[in-house]
A and B are shown apart, each in its own frame.
Chain A
């Protein structure tokens, strides 16, 4: 039945509605991620690593304003949604260490859930859909849910010899995105992720708050066992041949698909072959 339902949902314009109905009927089932957490049996190496990280963990007080203001005007941007289970422990901007990619990865957290990149079980096929964290329901696919992309981000045409970035014409009018709407993985028409205020999350947090090192180590190891510490490479989405996400199905227009898959920055990043490599920034225009 699920197979036939999936066929219908893939082929008709009523897909969001049908998926929503299917989701509501399947809500009694446990999210796939939670199933995997319960099944996880971390080995000693994973436990050792977990213990080390639990011991080293420090709570960081986030400072948003200082007496000295930033010199440049910054674009207005909403805070990322905090309803994700991961945000119970992780910072709202979770990528801090990777000097090269951290800002770009944090930018993606505004429209992609953590699980989209870090929960990729090999034994199941996941669907990726827009999900509204605030309303806890599927969001209809729409081009307006994509970040505004401008022409100058596109790679230059083969005939173009220009080296200069131009302001360019916008593909669509600037519209404020709802930061609660993100691309999320689905399994059997149900989102795979946990929510911060779910009963499962509460039980995990209860164990954590008991403040027992061994218990915390085990909880942490189990939570992270189904996850991959590194997400997919940029080209997994920013390449017309290797699309992990079906952009058109998510509502992207042809121009947006082109802009995403031929974006200058992922191409620039693909030139890095070593961890500490530095590349001339002028090359971003080449």
Chain B
């Protein structure tokens, strides 16, 4: 498959110019209202550095918010009370600050004019295997409570209030942003258009905020720590029965990291596959299901579609290649045994690998001990030959003369009746001496 590559900057500039050219055709100018990110005055206090205290659990709490980061963040246009909806008074009642990520906020989606909300993502998340994790009642003070109650991911475990333009795209954004004033500014006049809306539109051209490695980091934060996960209980999607995770599940991240899918991404090749590429390729990328679930993208019946998606393994859909998709992407045989816990190790001992190892290791040990003994005690000895075939090798391959014993045996075998022939006996003696000299050399 031939892959056409262009520099990301070229795409963005071309698209930006195209968009500006289209907008250039419009006869009138357009202005926009400035945003009011702190209409309630919350940042009057919360932007002060050093608003710290230690709560009754001993947790070092911080009420200060980095204001410049906040205004540059994903929620920089969202007034505080859109999330912390019930806070009206000071001192705040903790419950009044609880955040529900499925609520709508006062930021309007420009084309439809509808209030923006994360509800579709929350709905999808609730259907996933992680769905029983928290998605509401978030407050800084109940992080311990969440950790005590659930090991499942929640909105805030994976997402924080990241910068609107991620750091790795800042340079590209700035380069592209320079065009807004010259091209787009003909119609879209005013500072608000040039800064806020221009930024908003250009951000879309930069592509996904997170690359595959970034999204993997979110998954690996939990899945790469078997110690943290070993006590959780998995629920069978059909029977509802709960059971402890097996080795394959516990070390899924480790086995993934040993496969090409991961290793390509590690060296910066985006053709690798991230966790989400296989486990939640559809929709809003939050509907991760167990392999056993018939709806799961990783269910054996759905693997041809999943593997062939996004131009990865297009041939995976062909019947003749159906076995290809069954390649184990989380093969425990690739794992180092040092990763295993005692329980996992006990399970491992029942595998073919373990049985073969058990048979092989003693032999290796015996040979190793023999080698050691030889290294210390056997240096001054003469030539040592193999018990079986050693002399044969010396005579026919190394060109040495056969030993007297061998020669006698050979002669005896050929002429058993000539008992009085003394010549060979003398020669045998000489040969034997020559062999010894030769050996000593």
Interface residues, chain A, with chain B CB atoms under 8 Å away = 60-64, 66-75, 77, 91-93, 95-96, 99-100, 102-104, 106-107, 110, 147, 152-153, 163-165, 167, 264-265, 268, 278-282, 284-285
Contacts and interface: CB of A to CB of B under 8 A. Distances in A.
Interface string B6-50: 000000000000000000000000000000101111111100111
Given A77-B52, A96-B53, A278-B91, A63 B59 contact: yes
Contact of B70 (A73, A92, A284): A73
Interface in B319-372: none
5 contacts: A63-B58, A74-B64, A95-B53, A103-B53, A285-B41
Interface of B: 36, 38-45, 48-60, 62-67, 69-71, 73, 87-91, 138, 140, 143-144, 146-147, 154, 156-157, 160-161, 228
Given A68-B156, A102-B53, A107-B52, A282 B41 contact: yes
Given A71-B138, A93-B54, A110-B50, A66 B40 contact: no
Contacts of B42: 281
B401 to A, nearest CB: 78
Nearest to B140: A70
A152 B58 CA distance: 34
Nearest to B38: A165
A106 B38 contact: no
Contact of A70 (B58, B62, B228): B62
B41 A280 contact: no
A118 B87 CA distance: 33
Contacts of B49: 75, 77, 107, 147
A279 B147 CA distance: 33
Interface centre among B42, B59, B90 (most CB of A within 10 A): B90
Contact of A165 (B44, B55, B66, B144): B44
A73 B156 CA distance: 13
Nearest to A78: B50
Secondary structure dominating the interface of A:
loop
Nearest to A69: B160
Contacts of A95: 53
A73 B56 CA distance: 23
A153 B70 contact: no
Given A62-B59, A100-B90, A280-B88, 18 more contacts: A61-B58, A62-B58, A66-B59, A70-B160, A71-B138, A71-B156, A72-B161, A73-B69, A73-B70, A77-B52, A152-B44, A153-B44, A164-B39, A165-B41, A264-B44, A265-B48, A281-B40, A284-B45
A67 B221 CA distance: 9
A75 B65 contact: yes
Contacts of B53: 93, 95-96, 102-103, 106
B92 to A, nearest CB: 8
Can you list the 4 inter-chain pairs with the closest CB atoms, starting with the nearest?
A: A107-B50, A278-B89, A103-B51, A73-B69
Contacts of A69: 156, 160
B89 A281 contact: yes
A74 B65 CA distance: 5
A60 B58 contact: yes
B147 A68 contact: yes
A164 B38 contact: yes
Contacts of B73: 73
Contact of A279 (B43, B57, B89, B138): B89
A68 B48 CA distance: 23
B44 A167 contact: no
A62 to B, nearest CB: 5
Contact of A77 (B38, B64, B67): B64
A105 B279 CA distance: 49
A89 B22 CA distance: 69
Given A68-B143, A71-B138, A71-B156, A164 B71 contact: no
